[in-house]
Structure 1
């Protein structure tokens, strides 16, 4: 996980005159990106939070708005379905995200792929970012990109309702979904996060798979004993892990939500003899509250710990993003319609050019690649 930015909830909507231009520009950028990097290269870039944010700024969205994800991803999805570039997208915001499995089946049929692994991947990445990694954000947006070669990327976003802040999760062709699997996470680094997919959580995952083979009633008794300890009671026999403040630890868990076990899910896991963490996460009924409860039991009864490090590494930087035509909310300056139309016209002509002419344009971009904006002229947006 390498690239991050936090996104506050913004109101308002994209006006029709701007949305029309955004759709045109999005299509042109995607065509040129696939020509230059191929479909896999496009997916790699969409899964890079900084590149995706730059794309968002180029079409005129705000750098720090939660809507930058939903609007930009929606524009990209629409363009990929209208233009045959060898890659398409499924899902979206709210109800549209629940249509992802069926849309993936349609895409797989178009590209002659087996949809089963991609439908499973879609479910699994959603479970990781709601259950296995808990930072107080509830997912409400999920877009799955799939190309004709079977490469995939996912962009999903969660909202912290209390703080009205969003966090964006980026995935690309992960082979292991349970050990530092993200390409990047866009969000402010929090004081702590329940992170059971960290490389540091290998022992935790193994022990958890052993514990769920116990009878659910035993795990429930242990959880209730721990809750009683938090209220000030002490059992007659209690082996306290060294250097652990039980009350503080339990409060940390409760700050993320309720501690409630789903007995049916635990019974199901036991019956199936689940033996890997991916299978456990995919179990119906295994939600955030159940994993929190299991984690607390592991920490205070078995002295085995998840990671509490928030896997964010790059805080938002208002100087990092450059606007080509302005911002929707007039930040850092109003969208300049004339400039926008000139840009669209230039790119439309570029798309029509032959390879030799396009190579000339690429050479121009190389010349300016290492140019840096003067420090004294920088101002935050």
Structure 2
């Protein structure tokens, strides 16, 4: 098999499980890859709530079950994009600091990042809530909703100033809550995997837990890196010659050490040369491979 890629936009993204199931892989490897694909997408959709909607998902993997996930989300209001990078190697948890990087040009003021290690108490309290009777959770939720106007008088007054996508949901998927109660998940990762446990219900559990138990919320954006040479608005950053030379040199080394045929290598090197000419003018000398 070598290295394979499954996913894309729209139906190509949601069809990853079927695509993996068709491949000549061991059943255990298939199930592990399908779970990695589904859970990474669900985490970046429901557990990291940053106002960016996922529209592209791809999983790169081999026959040994080693995998990496890259997915991209778009802020529908500001039209900024960000990418979420996952690596299966060394991953200890899907729900606590799981990303290799979250890449974007914009740092949001408020992000409900329940994968933050600082939100461990919120995850634990959310799990405890669903393991109690749904009726008890409903009473707590209704109590919070009726007392929403008093939040300004508490240490959680910032909840009243949150952007709309992070405000307390008016409704919860009670079928998902009942399903979780019946399952009695042993940890937060298992809770997130419950069918129907979407962004609204995950957020409601976290906010109710924070209000009832007084847990502080870590609202920091997990973005760690910006795009290397330009923004998603199409405007490049000022060129740093040393950085660009390093990137092009790396790409040249990759091409030269690859298993490509001689003609393919020459074509790739010519494309790199063309890129250099566009950036630096005619100071680069002769075209390689001529």
Partner of 1:43: none
Partner of 1:203: 121
Partner of 1:144: 59
Partner of 1:214: 132
Runs of 4+ in 1 over 3 A off after TM superposition: 110-113, 231-234, 315-320, 329-332, 346-350
Contact 1:204 1:304 in 2 (8 A): yes
Partner of 2:283: none
In structure 2, relative to structure 1, the CA distance for the partners of 1:147 and 1:111 (3 Å cut) is farther
Equivalent in 179, 182, 185 of residue 96 of structure 2? 179
Equivalent in 155, 159, 174 of residue 70 of structure 2? 155
Q: Does 1:272 align with 2:189?
A: no
Deviation at 1:110, TM superposition (A): 4.9
Deviation at 1:146, TM superposition (A): 0.8
Deviation at 1:348, TM superposition (A): 12
Q: Deviations over 1:339-367 (max 9, x none)?
A: xxxx9xx97998336xxxxxxx9xxxxxx
The DSSP-based 3-state class of the residue aligned with 1:170 is: strand
Q: Does 1:351 align with 2:260?
A: yes
* Residue correspondence of structure 1 range 19-34 to structure 2 within 5 A: none
Q: Deviations over 1:139-171 (max 9, x none)?
A: 111111111222100111111111122211111
Partner of 1:100: 16
Query: How many residues are matched?
Result: 243
Q: Does 1:256 align with 2:166?
A: yes
- The Cα RMSD (Å) is 3.3
Contact 2:151 2:160 in 1 (8 A): no
Deviation at 1:190, TM superposition (A): 0.8
Q: Does 1:88 align with 2:88?
A: no
Contact 1:193 1:309 in 2 (8 A): yes
Partner of 1:16: none
Partner of 1:166: 81
User: Distance between the aligned counterparts of 1:88 and 1:349, measured in 2?
Assistant: 17
In structure 2, relative to structure 1, the CA distance for the partners of 1:230 and 1:352 (3 Å cut) is same
In structure 2, relative to structure 1, the CA distance for the partners of 1:257 and 1:226 (3 Å cut) is closer
Deviation at 1:180, TM superposition (A): 0.6
User: Distance between the aligned counterparts of 2:25 and 2:151, measured in 1?
Assistant: 62
User: Distance between the aligned counterparts of 2:27 and 2:135, measured in 1?
Assistant: 47
The DSSP-based 3-state class of the residue aligned with 1:227 is: helix
Q: Give TM-score scaled by structure 1 length.
A: 0.57
Unmatched tracts of structure 2, length 5 or more? 238-251, 263-268, 270-278, 281-290
Q: Give TM-score scaled by structure 2 length.
A: 0.74
In structure 2, relative to structure 1, the CA distance for the partners of 1:149 and 1:258 (3 Å cut) is same
Deviation at 1:313, TM superposition (A): 2.1
The DSSP-based 3-state class of the residue aligned with 1:130 is: helix
In structure 2, relative to structure 1, the CA distance for the partners of 1:313 and 1:350 (3 Å cut) is closer
Equivalent in 130, 133, 148 of residue 48 of structure 2? 133
User: Distance between the aligned counterparts of 1:121 and 1:90, measured in 2?
Assistant: 12
The DSSP-based 3-state class of the residue aligned with 1:114 is: helix
Partner of 1:42: none
Contact 1:137 1:166 in 2 (8 A): yes
In structure 2, relative to structure 1, the CA distance for the partners of 1:176 and 1:331 (3 Å cut) is closer
Q: Does 1:297 align with 2:208?
A: yes
Q: Deviations over 1:268-300 (max 9, x none)?
A: 111111111111111111111111111111111
User: Distance between the aligned counterparts of 1:300 and 1:113, measured in 2?
Assistant: 42
User: Distance between the aligned counterparts of 1:279 and 1:113, measured in 2?
Assistant: 19
